[in-house]
Chains A and B, each alone.
Chain A
């Protein structure tokens, strides 16, 4: 009975592909949106908190620093290691092979190895490759826009600042997206003079900020009572801001909690309700259409249990395809469209969630369908149908 049922469904599908494909598409897109909202908090948590949990800096300070400030901080016994950054809001990044360009936040780090350990965008969120001297690391979104991977070459240019300066790097690593968005981290040292020159050209001050932020890892046994006054005593000015990594993690965590408990929770419930309503509506339409088939077969003497088998086969097949297709769409959404990240250990959770929801949908559809088949009058149907 199952094989005959499959043959009927296959013949129907071949003759009316658009009807089936439309139904499958509608259900799959809606269900993938539902599964996305299920996985979103985990991905969002990674996006916001993951970089700071993996980073090993204790304090970040932002301000207009020069090389002397950096050297002075490096000499402090309280500091274990640090990395200085020149942060540029939007530099033009070009794939040298195909000339594709994109604007991206760019961090020039004065030590790539330390950058890979200390910075929020560090080696714990590397998708592939590593932090290497004389190289650059780019986020997945930049790599995707430019069509580059590890080993390819990029040019970082200052065209947005109306300067013709530009420098070339080889890509040594690709990072998952973080709350910093599209980003490039490149080694400061080989092109220091070019970056200094660009800084001087765009700076309105007579004291250009060669470094805009410094990430510091303190020695374990150090207790600093007043961080700001301690730093200002070293660098000789107070025009800077400081932030502890732990404080940042707390604020990011609060942001994540708000997201997980608020909008996304409501969206998930709403989408689930809409999905169930649309599943039931679509199967009512399928039943109304199949009523003609059942009427003909009933008059031909086909046993009624075949109709139950046929309806079960159809509902099961449709929901299996919808589950598989929507999981694939959800995966694409995470890895290609939005986060460029898929929480790898979430596959089981996601499949479990999708199977559970679609099993509930299947159960509801079967109860409705079987009741419909059991109750409708074939004689009434024969008189009502105008022929096929």
Chain B
């Protein structure tokens, strides 16, 4: 198995009004291809911060994070951008869909910037349509986010995260805004992707029931991680 994410002695400190807060303290873990890892913890435990650091969105930390054999501390902003475009997919609790674009265009947009694959616009569009079909939204191609339910929006966000065939999907509370039935559907969808495409998934969640779908659960508490096999 390939190591996709390798975190060594990762620490992150904030200075707040009450003094120095060490939100992440010497964390170390690896995530391999095809692995589905859930990260649990109380509010403010640093789950999202960890996800942002692994997702190359936050540079201010100490320690070492290696992503697809690239040490992030030594990687240029350009390379990080290319990693986000080609190798990482993000799914958020708030969906982060572009409100004035249809479901199809929301999914399509990262593909339009992908220059690694030489293909016509129609081929890019066909790929987006296929993904929306796979997440069960074949008839929602022309709908805008405000015309869809939360569950449907999250499916669009998942389809968008997969449009460039990423090797790693980072999901921040993907079921946080969904009812339990829809949550299960979304998690099953993520798990299927992980299995079928050999993609690693790192999912932040509050919900132990959702975490139970993962292969491993990391409990984040007082800046430290406790690893559990599910």
Contact = CB atoms under 8 A, between A and B. Distances in A.
Contact of A382 (B57, B82, B95, B164): B57
Contact of B100 (A12, A304, A387): A12
Nearest to B113: A302
Nearest to A383: B48
A299 interface: yes
Interface in B150-200: 160, 164, 177
A15 interface: yes
A292 B145 CA distance: 14
Given A15-B144, A302-B110, A303-B113, A385 B81 contact: no
Interface string B62-92: 0000000000000001100111111010101
Contact of B52 (A8, A297, A382, A385): A382
A6 interface: no
Interface residues of A, number: 28
A379 B95 contact: no
A388 B97 contact: yes
Interface string A292-314: 11011111111110100000000
B81 A301 contact: yes
A299 B89 CA distance: 8
Main SS of the interface on chain A? helix
Given A11-B100, A382-B52, A388-B95, A301 B85 contact: yes
B135 interface: no
Interface in A353-388: 378-379, 382-383, 385-388
Interface in A1-23: 4, 8, 11-12, 14-16
Contacts of A378: 57
Contact of A387 (B55, B84, B85, B93): B93
Contacts of A8: 100-101
A297 B97 CA distance: 10
Contact of B92 (A15, A293, A297, A387): A387
Contacts of A296: 96-98
Contacts of A12: 100
A155 B88 CA distance: 82
A12 B105 CA distance: 12
Interface of B: 48, 52, 55, 57-58, 77-78, 81-86, 88, 90, 92-101, 105, 109-110, 112-113, 144-145, 160, 164, 177
Given A11-B101, A301-B86, 6 more contacts: A12-B100, A301-B88, A382-B57, A385-B94, A387-B95, A388-B96
Interface of A: 4, 8, 11-12, 14-16, 292-293, 295-304, 306, 378-379, 382-383, 385-388
